Amino acid sequence: MVAGLRVFELAGSKTPGELALILEHSTLITGDLVRSHVGGKLNLLPADKLTDAAAARGSLARLVREQPRLDCVLVGDGWPLFTDGLAQLRALSEP
- The structure's pTM equals 0.90
Write out the chain in H/E/C secondary structure. CCCCEEEEEECCCCCCCEEEEEECCCEEECCCCEEEEECCEEEECCHHHCCCHHHHHHHHHHHHHHCCCCCEEECCCECCECCCHHHHHHHHHCC
Q: What is the pLDDT of residues 14-46, one digit of tens each?
A: 988 899 999 998 999 999 999 999 989 999 999
Q: What is the pLDDT of residues 36-94, one digit of tens each?
A: 999 899 999 999 999 999 999 999 999 999 998 999 999 999 999 999 999 999 999 98
